[in-house]
Structure 1
Amino acid sequence: MAAAALVGTGAICPGQAVATGEPGPYAFAEGAETVDGARSNVEGHRLIPGETYKSSLPRGGRLYYRLDLKAKESAYVSATAVPRLGTRVSYADGLEVSVQDADGNNCSPMEAQEARFGASESPRPITATAARRTGPAEPSCAGAGTYYVLVERTSDPESSRGAWALELRVASEPAVRMTGATEPPRTWDSATPAPPTGERKRRAGGTSYHTARALGNGVWGDSVTPGETRYYRVPVDWGQQLAVSAELGTSDGLRRGTADPATRGTGYVSPGLVMTLANPVRAEVEDADTAYNGEQKSAALEPLPPVAYENRFATADAVSAMRFAGWYYVSVHLNPEVAEKFGEAPLELMLRVDVDGDPLPGPSYAGSPRPAEEFGVTERDAEAARRGESAARGEGGSDDDPVLAAVAVGGIGTGVLLLGILGVWTLTARRRAAGASAAASAPTSDAPVRAASGPRHRR
């Protein structure tokens, strides 16, 4: 089944070239319903909290979708736009998202709800998130009823006229049982922490939020091709503080003969690398970038506060975004102009991840979030980070797995990969059959079976 899915979706291994004008290698959520946006709010397709959808955003488009919300639930709608690779985008190109009431009022006017391609002017997945929040400090958009999601594309007249693929995701956060402070924590350690040191362990990033590779504390290695965006995820619990930095390796294109000495191997690309951190509802927390000239370069996120429910009342976007425990997403994009200056070969990437502090008890919610376990860290999440699992179906990512390492650098063909997968399946099936036979002949036990999942908010 996994092999068939790999072939049927035309999956692209890291380092594998993508033809100009083809859809970017963004792995959309499996089973996501495809919906059309409406020109009028009254015709908008209903979006259900906890679900993910696929849609399309035309140039200059204004599309509506619909939400039916309870009186005491906060809803977060993220929109990820995926332009075709090789198409032209400008600094100002991007998208805006808003949640509105029946009178057209914006439910969260003070929060960032837009995304731009920015100075890199590179076609890549970009995400904007809007919210309808409830609580004593949220006087607008109160009450149960129908709300409307407006997704708008802002375009430069000279940029690509083609439609962008669009992914929509809705998350619902229940109200807390007891109302606490409505101000953010006044003090926190804003000093830049010392980055982790030691040998890097290879973990290949994914191509979307859905295939993001799990990382914990440590030094992690990967490779990134010009024009490519790599995704990673880090579990951060209540009370914990996250720090991330990225380092791009030197280019050896000239030594390997992959660049023309007359025109390549020298130059300056700004920005060459763009790193973005997003919170569990995919709202941007912070970003960092660095220029590239063929020599090693680094980019680090500014110091961030520990995760706290009260951060949502802060005026600074980066502090307000650290309002949830859960999976935080790191995306790293390498500007395609790097290929023009230094060759098309992948460059080595190193991520230094530090999650500091012991987990603290989180807020007592008066209900369940959607998706389930969205705003918290479980033992299963912590184990996924230790194992380096992909977000898609909990796929493993052992640092020393030779098959995964080969896939990570695109060093083997699909046929060889499928043969290897089939071989593993055959061996696994034989072992399971032998185990079942042995179990059938073994004496039974009256010992109780413990649940596999651990308690929430503990490591």
Structure 2
Amino acid sequence: MSRPARPAKLLTAALAAATFLALPATAAQAQEAEPKEQYAPTMLVLDASGSMAGEDPSGGTKMDAAKRAVHGVVEAAPTGSQVGLAAYGTGTGNSAAEKARGCQDVTVVHEPQPIKKDALTKAVDGLSPSGYTPIGKALQVAAEQLPEDGPRSIVLVSDGEDTCAPPEPCEVVKQLDGRGVELVVHTVGFGVDDAARKQLTCVAQSTGGTYTDAPDAKTLEQTLPRVTATALRNYEPAGTPITGTETYDPAPAAKPGQHLDTIGQKEKRYYAVDVPQGATAYFSATVSFPRLSGVSMTDDINSLQLRTYGENGQDCHEFASEMATRSSDGIPLTVATTWKGAIEEKTGETNRDRCQGGGRYYFALEWATVSSGVPERLPVELLVGVEPAATETGPVAVKPKVEFSEPSGADIPVVGGGSFNVAGVIDGSHTYADTVQRGEFVFYKVKLDWGQGLAYRVRFDETPKDGTRTVSNISTTFYSPYREEIDWDTTVYTGEAKTLPANDPAISTVPVRYNNRDADVRDARSQSVAGWYYIAVKVSPPHTDDGTAPSVPIKLDLTVTDEIEQGPSYQFASDEDRKNGPFGGQRAPGTPADDGDARSEANQVNTAASTSMVSTTGWIVIASAGVLVLVALLVGGLAVRRRKTTQ
């Protein structure tokens, strides 16, 4: 059965013919060692051909504008990111006699090492434009500078077509993709004509990247840091290696935290989790499907299924299934379950008794429905959480939802992350400003302590309208600390200003209380744990996706209540467990941090975000399974996620 939604929202979606693809809920606990952010190693490739010496309409040369844009990238680059720089056209002139040498003229100015901002700024300032435009060769050289394994990115800025082909730039990236290279190329056309735009769009779309038009210097300076932020948002699946088994009895025991395995088509994998008496277990699995082209809608469906088993492999009749159409858009699919059987006491030697009380439980994951064109095996992130029994659980009654209040004061710049892992931090009742590229799904996080709640809305600002070229699906989704979806809304964006939710003042929570999990009010049950809550904002690619549709400025209006209540006390089995806390070595949600609270962290991030780059905050309190999400628009089609859970 599909997840219920309010009638007004269903009507909005139907009338708009909008595509909705929700990120499925997940549940997780932190690893013993706190993970660190991962940024995709990225090479900037800069056009320094002779045409870049020409004047820009806004004044100065095109090269001057490009240098200023790179300065913006460097200034905003997060600590720990690996950003390199290559340039073509600096070593020769552009006469016919110099073409053979000029078409090999690609210089690696700075290797993609942990960024040294002064060195990179000095290097770009020393470039002088003069030669040819060997884009294909430059892409080959840039790819060679990047690591051999894992996601990596290239951001290419050019003011014209390749003047040296072959190799054709689009063929170069297709060959790299054919060798299994996890490479995404984003391209920026700086005052280009239609032929160059077509070539640069082909390069980007062949790798799942984005093409962006920058008609003048001002646009380039605004665009390049944003495009580079998108490149750095690439996420590599991570976790402690684990290998599931074909049957339950030899299944490996997965401790609380994040694990990494692979799963094959139509394959079932078993994992064991030890759950103490009175505890609640959380188990989720996330598979990120690659972007593919030419897949028909009827053959573009994937599903994951998750079953829970008890002692001696007894079926506990807990079944969760997640399905998504249009998997070829490059989506992640997550299936999750919350297992409460260990809370109950064993009563006897019956089959039901094997699914009650403390003991070892087994979770079987199956890639049940497979779309065409996908690899035989894909990485899968497994998230395990074990929350011990609680005493002194706090207030019982569910309070009303938080009322939205119009924020006051100046907008605060913030940059959303491409996954739960690198979500941009927001804090307090303010308006936060960001810009979302077409095809991005970005995440923000806000910490709620016991007794606190929030309300928010997202405003999508106006952009130039150009028929179907600017028609995109937009959505916002709200998640609990366990990645459980709390609420959502979606509509179609045509370039006119829009606000989500469309039919309510805001999406809001009840105040967070432990006992909300047992509330009669369904919408309150997911607000039962203090910690990081997540707001996701999506802008799909436009219906006619030629890469030229403008990015969309957004405003996120947030209300957070100030009241804090006493939280629960957990029942620990030992002093060591008490030291580690209920979440595997991390502090429990809602517990004050030793290194400063959420407010100081948010202030640091939002200051950095004013330079339009990915935030550099630490990872979330609870381990997460974020992945970069680039979800394509289906006009007249439907991208759905369906869940069926039976106990």
Q: Under a length normalisation based on structure 1, what TM-score does the superposition of the two structures give?
A: 0.70
Aligned with 2:259 (options 49, 53, 69): 53
Aligned to 2:444: 232
1:378/1:104 CA distance change after superposition, 3 Å: same
Aligned to 1:310: 515
Q: Are residues 1:165 and 2:379 paired?
A: yes
**Structure 2 contact 416–614 (Cα < 8 Å) conserved:** no
* Worse-matched range after superposition: 130-139 or 320-329: 130-139
Q: Are residues 1:324 and 2:529 paired?
A: yes
Q: Deviation at 1:215?
A: 1.0
| In 1: Cα distance, 2:561 partner to 2:379 partner | 37
Q: Deviations over 1:83-112 (max 9, x none)?
A: 113465779644333433134434756xxx
After superposition, residues 10-409 of structure 1 pair within 5 angstroms as: 10=151, 17=186, 20=206, 26-28=234-236, 32-49=239-256, 51-86=257-292, 93-102=302-311, 103-106=313-316, 113-117=320-324, 122-133=329-340, 134-135=342-343, 141-155=355-369, 160=374, 163-178=377-392, 185=397, 187-190=398-401, 192-217=403-428, 218-252=430-464, 264-265=468-469, 268-269=471-472, 272-300=473-501, 302-314=507-519, 317-337=522-542, 340=545, 343-367=548-572, 368-371=581-584, 372-379=586-593, 383-388=597-602, 396-399=604-607, 404-405=611-612
| In 1: Cα distance, 2:391 partner to 2:314 partner | 30
Which protein has the larger Cα radius of gyration, Structure 1 or Structure 2?
2
SS in 2 for 1:388: helix
**Structure 1 contact 122–335 (Cα < 8 Å) conserved:** no
> 1:336 is aligned with what amino acid?
P
Q: Under a length normalisation based on structure 2, what TM-score does the superposition of the two structures give?
A: 0.51
Q: Deviation at 1:325?
A: 0.5
Q: Deviations over 1:379-432 (max 9, x none)?
A: 56873444338xxxxxx5243566x42568xxxxxxxxxxxxxxxxxxxxxxxx
1:405/1:19 CA distance change after superposition, 3 Å: same
User: Percent same amino acid at aligned positions?
Assistant: 21
**Structure 1 contact 244–352 (Cα < 8 Å) conserved:** yes
| In 2: Cα distance, 1:57 partner to 1:143 partner | 30
Q: Deviation at 1:377?
A: 4.3
Q: How many matched pairs?
A: 382
1:319/1:295 CA distance change after superposition, 3 Å: same
| In 1: Cα distance, 2:421 partner to 2:587 partner | 16
| In 1: Cα distance, 2:536 partner to 2:517 partner | 23
**Structure 2 contact 393–569 (Cα < 8 Å) conserved:** no
| In 1: Cα distance, 2:292 partner to 2:408 partner | 37
> 1:215 is aligned with what amino acid?
I
Q: Deviation at 1:328?
A: 1.1
**Structure 2 contact 292–328 (Cα < 8 Å) conserved:** no
SS in 2 for 1:399: helix
SS in 1 for 2:442: strand
Q: Deviations over 1:16-35 (max 9, x none)?
A: 736546699552476x2233
Q: Deviations over 1:315-334 (max 9, x none)?
A: 55532111101111222222
Q: Deviation at 1:360?
A: 0.4
Task: Give the helix-richer structure, 1 or 2.
Answer: 2
Q: Deviation at 1:235?
A: 0.5
SS in 2 for 1:405: coil
Q: Deviation at 1:308?
A: 0.9
SS in 1 for 2:489: strand
1:71/1:52 CA distance change after superposition, 3 Å: same
**Structure 2 contact 286–333 (Cα < 8 Å) conserved:** yes
Q: Deviation at 1:180?
A: 7.4
Q: Deviations over 1:206-265 (max 9, x none)?
A: 22222122111221122222222212211011111122222223333x6xxxxxx6x754
* Worse-matched range after superposition: 121-130 or 85-94: 85-94
SS in 1 for 2:527: coil
| Runs of 5+ unmatched residues, structure 2 | 1-78, 83-112, 116-145, 156-183, 187-203, 210-230, 573-580, 616-647
**Structure 1 contact 290–298 (Cα < 8 Å) conserved:** no
1:171/1:148 CA distance change after superposition, 3 Å: same
**Structure 1 contact 235–382 (Cα < 8 Å) conserved:** no
